[in-house]
Amino acid sequence: MDTTNISAIIDKYNGEASALIQILLDIQNDLHWLPREALELVSERLGVPMSRIQHTATFYKAFSLVPKGRHEINVCVGTACHVRGANRVLEVVQNITGIQPGETDADLKFSLETVNCLGCCALGPVMEIDEQHLGKLAPAMAADLLKGYQ
Amino acid sequence: MSKLNSPADLEHLREEILAGRDPDKVCITLCSGTACNATGSGKVAAAIHEEFEKQGLNGSVEFRKTGCHGFCEKGPNMVISPEEISYIQVTPKDVPEIIAKTVKEKKVVERLLYKDPATGEKATHEFEIPFYKHQQRSVLANNVKLDPKNLNDYLAVGGYSAMVKAFDMGPEAVIAEVKKANLRGRGGGGFPAGIKWEAARNALGDRKYVIVNCDEGDPGAYMDRSLMEGNPFGVLEGLIIGAYAIGASEGYIYVRQEYPLAVENVLSAIRLAEERGLLGKNILGSGFDFSIEVHRGAGAFICGEETALLASLEGRAGEPRARPPFPATRGLWGKPTNINNVETWANVPLIVNNGADWFAGMGTKGSKGTKIFSLVGKVNNTGLVEVPMGVTLRDIIYKVGGGIPKNKKFKAVQTGGPAGGCIPEEHLDIQVDFDELTKFGAIMGSGGMIVMDEDTCMVDVARYFLNFLSGESCGKCSPCREGIKQMHRILTDITEGRGKEGDIELLEEICLSTRASLCALGRSAANPVLSTLRYFRHEYEAHIHNKRCPAFVCKKLISYYIDPEQCQACLICFRKCTSGAISGGKDKIHIIDQAVCNRCGTCFEVCPTRFGAAMRLSGDPVPAAIPEEARILIRETKSEKESKAT
Amino acid sequence: MSEIRLKIDGKEVTVEAGKTILDAARKAGIDIPTVCHHEKLESFGGCRLCTVEAESGGRTNLVAACIYPAANDLVVWTRSPQIDKIRKVLTEQLLAYAPESEVLKAIAEDYHADKDRFPKEPSFCILCGLCVRYCAEVKKKNVVGFLDRGPCREINFIPELAAVECWDCKECFPLCPTSALQAAFVLTEALISLSPSLQKIDTRAKTASA
Ligand SMILES: Cc1cc2nc3c(=O)[nH]c(=O)nc-3n(C[C@H](O)[C@H](O)[C@H](O)COP(=O)(O)O)c2cc1C
Ligand code: SF4
Ligand code: FES
């Protein structure tokens, strides 16, 4: 594994232990997951025990300890979307992708997450695929949309 | 960009900016908040640039991309000054016409105006649209006036004048003013900001911190996001004033990384302020030094709780700790720290500029000023609403919100986020006020307001919030971790038909035990259960005793069924079914295979109302399928139909 | 050193400043149940079995005695119908993990807690954090830590550190209120993950890293 990027990220924060979460966020954004080697390097450079790094990396939802799929689906299950039927959309998405929230399929095609409000409540139910917002969904429409991804 | 070294420099710059601005020049303002972006405001902006290029309008017409206007339901929103003509749901296709007609000929494009669904009347200006007419916008007022990336826009509307005034008043007088205004925290607790500031000011410590809480994890609320995205300058100015009053030299902005635009805009606002000397050493020659850092939250609702937020700022998992000691005496790195919500900070420059009396002139006895709500759910006009405290829930939902869509019946409004409560129809005339809402089992919270209609199951709502909380509890203390888990399990059982005698009583017992939790997340986790039990106990009972979901929401308790008498074998549901559960043909009455059906409800939605063949059942058994031979549909000929009709 | 005077269950008690309600109560011979508290460790406030009613300035709050600072004029009640009900349910919830725990059984007897009230849990750990905190605060090794949050929270040993540190130590085991079954299991698991020949049977390490 090439660790130059990770080192550069740590340097950007002067190797300060208090920046742990900011550093992990930057690594996550860069690699789309947090490989164990990266965590070990961070632990060593910041002087933060591995047990604390692991707690942090598993505590916050933004971090993933496994590689993500090519397409990241976020189904909004905020309250506004919930009362407008987000669950029915979510179930259809689960059926089609064959994965549960928090999972990635074996072909690394889709990763599915639920999120708690994308701030587009007016468009609920909403999902986000690869950072594109898809609003006013119905189960049948969500099913059609997913078919367009490779 | 030159640094400003004194208040006089700032005023001089302001005059220069204003002199360079022609109030009669045409300006197109386009909402570019997150919701409007999702409905295509980016494409509209591109079309405007293209059209400007084509028509050679660059320079003669201004174009400004602003933060959220609030009427997200009808986005993308556009306003054209100086006439302030307001267009809704603008698409790139509309742009050439807008420019040819409105910009060049000052004519209105009728079809882009808002039309009141009740009266059919069209509104040319935002202030005539009922959604805006019944609001009172002070904190949100500048959102429509400025480009969040342009400091000059903020200076043009009087930006940073409150900071200068505060430097003149001195720290004690600023605190006295905030206390007199009785500004209560907008983040949920409603604690008086002035008193908290005073405690932090009086606390011993060589170093003090101020923090903006923009974690906004409340699902279904986005007030703080819109302020941060639309007018980060106002929040910064409030923070600088607070830091000055408290004697803090460093500030942090804690903003969730799920809000990339808010992060981007506040970082840019900080940079612009630094370049101008409005942040940094010796601000405007006052001798006051102050710097700000942005910290992105990594996805944990609990980090909105102030002690968890501090743990997270220090680079640890966001676990709350016991108070006392309060952050005012022992906060970040053990130093005195003052944390306020985004909206609280954004109110500060207004109070300093207009005075405590102006602020206290709005609202009720115990709750002053205005409050921003995110009005969402089953309501016609979804969006951000700013109203004076004391307005009734009914006015917000019906006058501003335009009532419930599709003529459905109102059931409840949920306020205060996951720890809040549901208020039913009979109490809709209560005023929004910190203490009043609490009395009725809800809370003000940070301003989420979710409207629910007759199609909402209140047991499912309680289950939903407990599910949310169970994923967001930090797990440190057992009443919260175990209590929420058990309540969620029992509620799931009830909604899935496994409810049993004694469940309600057990829930009530657990509700009590969660009050022993360490932080307010656990301590208020029972609220969704308690408030739905208080007003909708009969729904719990229907689920438990009759295995019936009165709102037809709980999947395990409902079935979809096609009435063979009504089915016209039109194939619509057959084609749309998401699980392939419907069998049928062109002349063959459709039947749902109950074993395959996933209860997504698509058939019920698509079945033409004139047939009304797809039905929902709950609490009643599904009638047996009709025999194969009876499924052939013999259609009436046209003449037969007519003779029947006569 | 300044003295603090407070009232516990109607009794006047004095303690040094900086002590907690629990310290004050123990000094006065008043019993408050605790699970996650330990003299050698910093107060944690996790199990909340030490919850008491504390009255000051006209307001009564439920607070954790093990962590709430004793203060002048505080009026504390260590038993009340409300507190008893709370302790009962909290004990029952923890018994779902560790029905054999002596500590919990003793509390259960005092509060008539039913060990079968809640469905059995597939873990013996009640997450009191004694092992985690002991390893960090006293041994300063940080071999065992928490993972995840909410109902998914669990304890976890760092394999590479455990292989070096745990053989001669295991001092955290006797602190465990549930006889360290889960800790032993998780520790073994961590060690297995380092051993290529034993990894085959380690199904969990795979799912844990997945
Ligand atoms: C579980 C939980 C979540 C919270 N989330 C937020 C939040 O997202 N934003 C916020 O401003 N306050 C939040 N609070 C309230 C903060 O703890 C704190 O009271 C507030 O930031 C103080 O600011 P204010 O006095 O201006 O409201 C939360 C509290 C709890 C218990
Ligand atoms: S109440 Fe919940 S969120 Fe708060 S400390 Fe306890 S477990 Fe954590
Ligand atoms: S002993 Fe006080 S919380 Fe556990």
Is residue A66 included in any domain, yes or no?
A: no
Contacts of residue A134, defined as CB under 8 A and 6 or more positions apart, other chains included, come to A126, A127, A128, A142, A145
Q: What is the DSSP string of A115-129?
A: ES--S-GGG-S-EEE
Task: Please report which confidence band the pLDDT of residue C201 belongs to, taking 50, 70 and 90 as the band edges.
Answer: low
Residue C169 sits in the same domain as residue C112: no
Contacts of residue B123, defined as CB under 8 A and 6 or more positions apart, other chains included, come to B86, B113, B114, B115, B116, B129
* Nearest CA-CA partner of B46 in B112, B95, B99: B95
Task: Please report which confidence band the pLDDT of residue C204 belongs to, taking 50, 70 and 90 as the band edges.
Answer: very low
B78 forms bridges with which residues in the sheet?
A: B30, B87
Q: What is the pLDDT of residues B242-254, one digit of tens each?
A: 999 999 999 999 9
B473 interaction partners in chain C (CB closer than 8 Å)? 149-151
At position A123, the amino acid (one-letter code) is: L
Atom index in ligand 1 nearest the CA of residue B196 equals 25
Residue A80 sits in the same domain as residue A47: no
Residue C116 sits in the same domain as residue C157: no
CA distance B460 to B464: 6
Q: Are B478 and C127 in contact (CB under 8 A)?
A: yes
| Geometric angle at alpha carbon B135, from B454 and A77, rounded to 5° | 40
Shortest distance, CA B313 to any CA of chain C (angstroms): 18
Residue A134 sits in the same domain as residue A89: yes
Residue C50 sits in the same domain as residue C73: yes
Q: Are B590 and B567 in contact (CB under 8 A)?
A: yes
For residue B615, what pLDDT is reported? 95
Task: Please report which confidence band the pLDDT of residue C205 belongs to, taking 50, 70 and 90 as the band edges.
Answer: very low
Contacts of residue B363, defined as CB under 8 A and 6 or more positions apart, other chains included, come to B369, B370, B388, B389, B390, B433
Say if residue B57's pLDDT is above 90: no
Which residue, chain included where needed, has tokens 């100015």? B237
Write down how long chain B is.
Answer: 646
Token representation of residue C97: 């993990």
Q: Is the bond preceding residue B324 a cis peptide, omega within 30 degrees?
A: yes
Nearest residue (CA) to ligand 1, atom 2: B305
Ligand 1 pocket test, pick from B184, B255, B307, B339 with the greatest ligand atom count within 8 Å of Cβ, gives B339
| Geometric angle at alpha carbon A92, from A87 and A98, rounded to 5° | 120
Residue A76 sits in the same domain as residue A53: no
CA distance B89 to B73: 9
Q: What is the pLDDT of residues B588-597, one digit of tens each?
A: 999 999 999 9
Residue C87 sits in the same domain as residue C71: no
Q: What is the pLDDT of residues C124-171, one digit of tens each?
A: 999 999 999 999 999 999 999 999 999 999 999 999 999 999 989 999
B377 forms bridges with which residues in the sheet?
A: B451
Does the CB of A65 have a partner CB in chain B at under 8 Å? Answer: no
- From residue A115, give the alpha-carbon distance in Å to each of A125, A128, B106, B266, C198: 12, 10, 44, 23, 38
At C48, give phi and psi (nearest 5°): 65, 15
Is residue A47 included in any domain, yes or no?
A: yes
CA distance B264 to B251: 17
CA distance A30 to A2: 12
Residue C55 sits in the same domain as residue C20: yes
Residue C93 sits in the same domain as residue C70: no
Residue C36 sits in the same domain as residue C100: no
For residue B356, what pLDDT is reported? 98
Say if residue B42's pLDDT is above 80: yes
Task: Please report which confidence band the pLDDT of residue C193 belongs to, taking 50, 70 and 90 as the band edges.
Answer: confident
Between C25 and A82, whose confidence is greater? Answer: C25
A59 interaction partners in chain B (CB closer than 8 Å)? 300, 317-318, 474
Between C209 and C21, whose confidence is greater? Answer: C21
* Distance of alpha carbon B134 from the chain centroid: 18
For residue A132, what pLDDT is reported? 86
CA distance C48 to C87: 8
| Residue where a domain terminates, one of A13, A30, A59 | A59
For residue C197, what pLDDT is reported? 65
Token representation of residue C129: 């954090």
| Geometric angle at alpha carbon B366, from B365 and B372, rounded to 5° | 105
Q: What is the pLDDT of residues C44-93, one digit of tens each?
A: 999 999 999 999 989 999 999 999 999 999 999 999 999 999 999 999 99
Shortest-distance ligand to the CA of residue B472: 2
For residue C65, what pLDDT is reported? 98
> What is the pairing mode between strands B291-297 and B250-256?
parallel
Residue B560 three-state SS: strand
Residue A76 sits in the same domain as residue A119: yes
Residue A47 three-state SS: coil
* Nearest CA-CA partner of B57 in B67, B69, B47: B47
Q: What is the DSSP string of chain C?
A: --EEEEEETTEEEEEETT-BHHHHHHHTT-----SS--TTS-----S-TTEEEEEETTEEEEEETTTSBP-TT-EEES--HHHHHHHHHHHHHHHTT-TT-HHHHHHHHHHT--TTSS---S-------HHHHIIIIIS----EEEES-GGG-EEEE-HHHHHHHTTT--TTGGG-TTTTHHHHHHHHHHHHTT-TTTGGG-HHHHHHH-
Is residue A39 included in any domain, yes or no?
A: yes
Token representation of residue C196: 């290529």
CA distance B216 to B218: 6
At position B635, the amino acid (one-letter code) is: R
Which residue, chain included where needed, has tokens 């969990």? C204
Mutating which of C131, C133, C139, C156 best tests the A interface, going by the most A Cβ atoms within 10 A?
C156
Q: Are C54 and B475 in contact (CB under 8 A)?
A: no
- Of B537-541, C20-24, C48-52, C184-188, the poorest mean pLDDT is in C184-188
Taking 50 as the pLDDT cut, the residues of chain A under it are: none
pTM > 0.90: yes
Structural domain boundaries enclosing C92 = 80-122
For residue B35, what pLDDT is reported? 86
Residue A42 sits in the same domain as residue A106: no
Residue C22 sits in the same domain as residue C64: yes
Ligand 3 pocket test, pick from C31, C38, C44, C104 with the greatest ligand atom count within 8 Å of Cβ, gives C44
Q: Are B557 and B618 in contact (CB under 8 A)?
A: yes
Contacts of residue B518, defined as CB under 8 A and 6 or more positions apart, other chains included, come to B320, B321, B322, B476, B477, B480, C45, C46, C48, C64
Count up the domains in chain C and report the number: 3
CATH number where C28 lies:
3.10.20.740
For residue B644, what pLDDT is reported? 61
Mutating which of A50, A51, A111 best tests the C interface, going by the most C Cβ atoms within 10 A?
A51
Among left, alpha and beta (phi > 0; psi -120 to 50; other), residue B247 is left
Is residue A23 included in any domain, yes or no?
A: yes
* Nearest CA-CA partner of B186 in B441, B380, B370: B370
Say which of A60, A82, A143 has its CB closest to residue B578: A143
pLDDT > 90 fraction of chain B, expressed in percent and rounded: 87
At C114, give phi and psi (nearest 5°): -100, 120
For residue B641, what pLDDT is reported? 63
C-beta atoms of C145 and A55 within 8 A? yes
Which residue, chain included where needed, has tokens 């959309």? A89
Residue A75 sits in the same domain as residue A143: yes
Task: Please report which confidence band the pLDDT of residue C1 belongs to, taking 50, 70 and 90 as the band edges.
Answer: low
B485 interaction partners in chain C (CB closer than 8 Å)? 150-151
Average pLDDT in the B159-172 region? Answer: 98
Residue A142 sits in the same domain as residue A76: yes
Q: From the CB of C46, is ligand 3 less than 6 Å away?
A: yes
A31-50 residues touching B, CB cutoff 8 A? 48
Shortest distance, CA B558 to any CA of chain A (angstroms): 14
Is residue A109 included in any domain, yes or no?
A: yes
ipTM of this predicted complex?
0.93
Say if residue C206's pLDDT is above 60: no
| Residue where a domain terminates, one of A27, A59, A91 | A59
> What is the pairing mode between strands A110-115 and A71-76?
parallel
Atom index in ligand 3 nearest the CA of residue C45 equals 3
At position B545, the amino acid (one-letter code) is: H
Is residue A64 included in any domain, yes or no?
A: no
At A125, give phi and psi (nearest 5°): -70, 140
CATH number where A130 lies:
3.40.30.10
- In chain B the domains, ranked by start, together with CATH numbers, are 7-133 (3.40.30.10), 159-360 (3.40.50.11540), 370-456 (3.10.20.600), 459-545 (1.20.1440.230), 555-630 (3.30.70.20)
Q: What dihedral do alpha carbons B440, B444, B449, B453 form, nearest 10°?
A: -10
Q: What is the maximum alpha-carbon separation in chain B?
A: 94
Does the CB of B487 have a partner CB in chain C at under 8 Å? Answer: no
Q: What dihedral do alpha carbons C11, C14, C18, C19 form, nearest 10°?
A: -50
Residue C111 sits in the same domain as residue C134: no
Residue C145 sits in the same domain as residue C191: yes
Average pLDDT in the B199-205 region? Answer: 97
Q: What is the pLDDT of residues B482-521, one digit of tens each?
A: 999 999 999 999 999 999 999 999 999 999 999 999 999 9
Say if residue B270's pLDDT is above 50: yes
Q: Which residues line ligand 1 (CB under 6 A)?
A: B 185-189, 191, 193, 213, 215-217, 301-302, 304-306, 339-341, 344, 446, 519-521
Atom index in ligand 2 nearest the CA of residue B523 equals 1
Task: Please report which confidence band the pLDDT of residue B2 belongs to, taking 50, 70 and 90 as the band edges.
Answer: confident
Residue A129 sits in the same domain as residue A89: yes
Contacts of residue B406, defined as CB under 8 A and 6 or more positions apart, other chains included, come to none
Average pLDDT in the B351-376 region? Answer: 96
Residue C150 sits in the same domain as residue C118: no
Structural domain boundaries enclosing A136 = 71-147
Count up the domains in chain A and report the number: 2
